[in-house]
Amino acid sequence: KSYSKLFGGYSQRPEDILKTFEEGVCDEMVLLKNIEFASCCEHHMLPFTGRAHIAYVPNGKIIGISKLARLLEIFARRLQIQERIGQQVTEAMDRLLLPHGSACILEAQHSCMTSRGVEKQNSIMCTSSLTGIFKTQPETRQELLQLIKG
């Protein structure tokens, strides 16, 4: 049962959860922040945990906000590296939503850093994956970062 939960992302596909809506579509940034997640390092088979901030700027379609957390879970619940989780989240959003841009920023504490190796207890790894206007428009990227801090 434990492994079914920890690695349940292998049996899920983003296409199965990202149902889109065209009613009530906005043209401003949508951000879900401080989403807790847990994953398992593919190199050391040790857990890493943290929080994610996922955003997109709609282009005619939106999704239910809980779907952003579910999308993260699909990729976090696999043997992973943190950098890849963010890339997989933004790639899936870009492919299925066709937004003006998508972003996934992850902050996590890795057991392979805290309980072995260099044993640095307070180290936090931060990674980002930005596409579209989050990558090409500095003002949009800055707005995202301000909303995450606030």
The dihedral region occupied by 17, where left means phi > 0, alpha psi between -120 and 50, and beta the remainder, is alpha
- Per-state percent for the chain, helix, strand, coil, to nearest 5: 40, 30, 30
Q: Tokens standing for 66?
A: 């809980």
Rg over alpha carbons for the chain, rounded to the nearest Å, is 16
Parallel, antiparallel or unpaired: strands 62-63 and 79-80 = unpaired
Q: Give the residue numbers annotated as catalytic, written as ranges.
A: 41-44, 82, 110, 112
